[in-house]
Amino acid sequence: MKQLLSLPRVPLVAAPTPLLPAPRLSAEVGADVWLKRDDLTGLGLGGNKVRGLEYLLGDALAQGCDCLVTGAGPQSNWAMLAALAARRSGLTPYLVFYGSPTRPTGNLLLSELSEADVRFTGEHDRASVDTAIEKLGAELSATGRRPYLVPRGGATPLGAAGYVRASMELADQLMADGLSPSQLWLATGSCATQAGLVAASRWLRSPYEVVGVSVSRPGDECVARVTSLADGATRVLDLPYADADGVTVLGGYLGPGYGQASPEGDAAARLVARTEGVFLDPVFGAKAMAALVDAARAGRVDGPVVFLVTGGAPTLFAGPRGSL
């Protein structure tokens, strides 16, 4: 706790984000569902990545960096928010995207509005971004700049610290509402968000199981990444480590592929919009909600559950899905 509070941090989140009951959705699926609205974190159009960026930008400033280098796909909510956070902190943002230049829509348009330096690898392999970030960082250093390099999704132990802090916020809200959920559901991509929640649930002995739904990679790989990042966050924050059950990540909801909408996800997104007036992005939140809806309707959800709305709505305006 002391280490968490003493880490350099740039305040970016409009906290606390709301924790709201979803009564009409609950009636439709047969389970008591609550929504933790981290699509309302405040920076840009909101999203879960803002929480990790508070600590990553704090670290960058503490190291005397003058620019931030990261990347992903052209429709990445992470990259767009990283660019805005860098601008808010006085750093120049450099974004590296896989693929080739395309018409700016959705998050790519918002990234360009931030006047980030945007580059493309020319390759369709997501991993090409990782090499390009390192190369660009070396080039900037050679010119006298002081770059801060962050991997895709901010997936580092320090980036996971944002959701350790969020878990403390959620614990206060649950106490105020007299709520003891059995599960906390979320979409799992780069795995830092779930890692922070897992590390915090072990420390706080939270009443809920953290249930990730893989939207990016095989479930076994997600489990390994979440475990490694959660252990890393525990060390970085010097948290008391409490033994816990294994990490839970559900597969089977990726659909046609990463960054592509699925029929099940689209149906879940329409259901949430119709019942609660909340928009889910088509390739992360919608797929995770599809998994929750299936579990609830099959009677596999016991007691109240919380669903983490992670944002990413600008991808709704990106035309054909993809390039996340």
Annotated active-site positions, please?
A: 76
CA distance 133 to 152: 9
Q: Would you state the structure tokens that stand for residue 281, as one six-digit string?
A: 């992005």
Q: Who's near 107: CB < 8 A, 6+ residues apart?
A: 74, 75, 76, 77, 79, 80, 312, 314, 315, 318
Q: Who's near 234: CB < 8 A, 6+ residues apart?
A: 199, 202, 203, 241
Q: Select from 193, 191, 184 the least CA-distant residue to 226.
A: 191
CA distance 45 to 212: 23
Q: Select from 174, 170, 147 the least CA-distant residue to 68.
A: 147
> What would you measure as the largest C-alpha separation in the chain, in angstroms?
60
Place of tokens 């996971």: 160
Residue type, 121: T
Given a contact cutoff of 8 angstroms between Cβ atoms, the answer to whether 72 and 324 are in contact is yes
Q: Would you state the structure tokens that stand for residue 53, as one six-digit string?
A: 């960026």
In terms of DSSP H, where are the helices of the chain? Answer: 2-6, 23-29, 49-62, 77-88, 106-113, 128-142, 157-177, 192-204, 219-236, 263-276, 285-297
CA distance 231 to 225: 10
Neighbours of 42 (CB within 10 A): 14
